[in-house]
């Protein structure tokens, strides 16, 4: 449906469905339901300052992190919006230890699995910094009547779709089904996501590097040399780069996706395996980055989308963004 405001997400999803001749609409229906959940979360996030929904829920998640009330709300909203649709055989959340089964009272036999980080960057909630929701969708691969762990532990190269919502100065929904990256901005008056950034392509070379330099003392020499490269002066290669780091992955990633640059969460002595989660953060954002012409690797220079996951909550170092900066980071990571 095109409104006076432009192309709605409903229309875009239908357009993309028509490019899959065998599609029966289940996948589109699942995306519709997920978008509704994101609208509900956006509504609560945007009024959090006015309600007693800020602050901590007093519980901790599987990561041992204190859960913010909005964290819990976002997690519950997605689960309750998606569990009765019949599209999913199961879900996995960054906030929950194991697989979230579809209760027997709900339609069974869903063909897809949904993984999500319900509210990433939630420690920033109380200080009004942009936060986000990240999701991935795979096709079920096991023959189990219910879901099995193998349905979730799939490499990003198997992804059917991934994306995120960023709750900032406006609410945006950015996703890809493998046919490019499309950005939608929520019109709060209409309550619809309107196509505002069709076919997003990251600049092949950026001017921004994003890393928590407070961890410098814990980096190895490769990282110190890499960040030194980005901060050295060299007019011919457009250096020094600008340092931009919000501490909210979705916000940092989205800025670099649009403007170009690189986001890095390296391994360090505090987090030898990195801090970010492979399934809930690195893989979905790597899918978006590559669809937009960029790239994403781990500290061995390996493509994130080719990593075979071993556990739901495993962490990974992450170097993600414009093609040229990812290649530069690979060179330093290889000891160059
Ligand atoms: P640090 C937020 O807690 C988060 O998971 C990401 O959103 C963000 O990129 C990262 O951690 C920030 O971590 O160690 O720099 O505060």
Q: Using CA positions, which residue lies closest to atom 2 of ligand 1?
A: 121
* Residue in 255, 234, 249 with CA at minimum distance from that of residue 284: 249
pLDDT at 20: 83
Distance between Cα 126 and ligand 1 center (Å):
15
Last residue of a domain, one of 148, 178, 197: 197
Q: Examine the domain organization and report whether 300 and 232 are in the same domain.
A: yes
Residue in 227, 265, 269, 278 to alter for ligand 1 test, most ligand atoms within 8 A of Cβ: 265
Q: Examine the domain organization and report whether 92 and 121 are in the same domain.
A: yes
Q: In CATH, what number is assigned to the domain containing residue 47?
A: 3.30.540.10
CA–CA dist 115, 131 (Å, integer): 18
Q: Does residue 202 fall inside a structural domain? A: no
Q: Does residue 141 fall inside a structural domain? A: yes
pLDDT at 54: 63
What separation in angstroms does the CA of 85 have from each of 96, 135, 136, 213?
Answer: 20, 17, 17, 44
Q: Kindly write down the DSSP assignment for every residue of 25-79, as one continuous string.
A: SHHHHHHHHHHHHHHHHHHHHHHGGGTTT-SEEEEE-TTSPEEEHHHHHHHHHHH
Show the tokens assigned to 218.
């814990």
Q: Examine the domain organization and report whether 168 and 243 are in the same domain.
A: no
pLDDT at 62: 83
Which residues surround ligand 1 with Cβ inside 6 Å? 120-121, 123, 212, 247-249, 252, 275
Please state the atom number of ligand 1 nearest to the C-alpha of residue 252: 9
Q: Examine the domain organization and report whether 124 and 99 are in the same domain.
A: yes
Show the tokens assigned to 213.
């330099």
Residue in 61, 67, 68, 120 to alter for ligand 1 test, most ligand atoms within 8 A of Cβ: 120
pLDDT band at residue 3 under the 50/70/90 scheme? very low
Q: Are 133 and 41 in contact (CB under 8 A)?
A: yes
Please state the atom number of ligand 1 nearest to the C-alpha of residue 248: 7
Which residues are CB-contacts of 72 (< 8 A; sequence separation ≥ 6)? 57, 59, 95
Q: Using CA positions, which residue lies closest to atom 14 of ligand 1?
A: 212
With 70 as the cut, is the pLDDT of residue 45 above it? yes
- 3-class DSSP assignment, residue 202: coil
Distance between Cα 301 and ligand 1 center (Å):
21
Distance between Cα 273 and ligand 1 center (Å):
14
Last residue of a domain, one of 197, 218, 239: 197
Q: Kindly write down the DSSP assignment for every residue of 114-148, as one continuous string.
A: EEEEEEETGGGGGGT--EEEEEEEEE--S--SS--
CA–CA dist 209, 33 (Å, integer): 35
Q: Using CA positions, which residue lies closest to atom 3 of ligand 1?
A: 121
Q: Does residue 203 fall inside a structural domain? A: no
Question: In sequence order, which ranges of 122-219 are alpha helices (DSSP H)?
Answer: 149-152
Q: Examine the domain organization and report whether 159 and 40 are in the same domain.
A: yes
When pLDDT is averaged across residues 216-230 and rounded to a whole number, the result is: 98
* Residue in 171, 212, 175, 200 with CA at minimum distance from that of residue 39: 171
- The boundaries of the domain holding residue 283 are 208-333
pLDDT band at residue 64 under the 50/70/90 scheme? confident
Show the tokens assigned to 173.
């929904």
Q: Examine the domain organization and report whether 77 and 184 are in the same domain.
A: yes
Distance between Cα 253 and ligand 1 center (Å):
12
Please state the atom number of ligand 1 nearest to the C-alpha of residue 131: 7
Q: Examine the domain organization and report whether 144 and 59 are in the same domain.
A: yes
Q: For the segment 104-160, what is each residue's pLDDT rounded down to a tens digit?
A: 999 999 999 999 999 998 788 778 899 999 999 999 999 988 999 999 999 999 999
Domain count, the chain: 2
Q: For the segment 250-304, what is each residue's pLDDT rounded down to a tens digit?
A: 999 999 999 999 999 999 999 999 999 999 999 999 999 999 999 999 999 999 9
pTM of the model: 0.95
pLDDT at 282: 98
pLDDT band at residue 48 under the 50/70/90 scheme? low
Q: In CATH, what number is assigned to the domain containing residue 287?
A: 3.40.190.80
Q: Does residue 243 fall inside a structural domain? A: yes
Q: Examine the domain organization and report whether 188 and 239 are in the same domain.
A: no
Q: Examine the domain organization and report whether 145 and 242 are in the same domain.
A: no
Q: For the segment 166-193, what is each residue's pLDDT rounded down to a tens digit?
A: 999 899 999 999 999 999 999 998 899 9
Last residue of a domain, one of 197, 232, 251: 197
Q: Using CA positions, which residue lies closest to atom 16 of ligand 1?
A: 247
Q: Examine the domain organization and report whether 193 and 228 are in the same domain.
A: no
Q: Examine the domain organization and report whether 41 and 189 are in the same domain.
A: yes
Q: Examine the domain organization and report whether 224 and 154 are in the same domain.
A: no
CA–CA dist 77, 38 (Å, integer): 8
Distance between Cα 24 and ligand 1 center (Å):
39
Task: Supply the mean pLDDT for the chain.
Answer: 93
Q: Does residue 284 fall inside a structural domain? A: yes
Q: Report phi then psi at 45, rounded to 5.
A: -60, -45
Distance between Cα 28 and ligand 1 center (Å):
32
Give the angle 71-141-317 at the CA atoms, nearest 5°: 50
């Amino acid at each position: 449906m095109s409104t006076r405001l432009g192309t709605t997400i409903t229309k875009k999803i239908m357009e993309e469905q028509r490019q899959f001749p065998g599609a029966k609409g289940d996948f589109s229906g699942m995306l519709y339901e997920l978008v509704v959940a994101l609208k509900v979360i956006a509504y609560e996030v945007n009024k959090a300052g006015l309600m007693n929904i800020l602050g901590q829920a007093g519980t901790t998640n599987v990561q041992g992190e204190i859960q913010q009330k909005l964290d819990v709300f976002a997690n519950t909203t997605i689960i309750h919006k998606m569990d009765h649709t019949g599209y999913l055989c199961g879900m996995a959340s960054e906030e929950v230890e194991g697989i979230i089964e579809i209760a027997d009272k709900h339609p069974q036999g869903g063909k897809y699995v949904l993984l999500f980080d319900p509210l990433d960057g939630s420690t920033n909630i109380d200080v009004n910094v942009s936060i986000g929701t990240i999701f991935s969708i795979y096709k079920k691969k096991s023959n189990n009547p219910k879901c099995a762990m193998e349905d979730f532990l799939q490499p990003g190269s198997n992804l059917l779709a991934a994306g995120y919502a960023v709750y900032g100065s406006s609410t945006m929904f950015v996703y890809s089904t493998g046919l490019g990256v499309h950005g939608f901005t929520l019109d709060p008056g209409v309550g619809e996501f309107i196509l505002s950034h069709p076919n997003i392509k990251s600049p092949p070379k950026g001017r921004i590097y994003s890393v928590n330099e407070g961890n410098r003392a814990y980096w190895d020499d490769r990282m110190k040399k890499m960040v030194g490269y980005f901060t050295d002066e060299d007019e011919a290669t457009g250096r020094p780069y600008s340092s931009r780091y919000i501490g909210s992955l979705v916000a940092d990633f989205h800025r670099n996706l649009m403007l170009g640059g690189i986001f890095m969460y390296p391994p360090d002595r505090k987090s030898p395996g990195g801090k970010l989660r492979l399934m809930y953060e690195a893989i979905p954002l790597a899918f978006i980055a590559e669809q937009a012409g960029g790239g994403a690797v781990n500290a061995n220079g390996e493509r994130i989308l080719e990593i075979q996951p071993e556990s739901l909550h495993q962490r990974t170092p992450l170097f993600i963004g414009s093609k040229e900066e990812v290649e530069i980071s690979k060179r330093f990571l290889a000891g160059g």
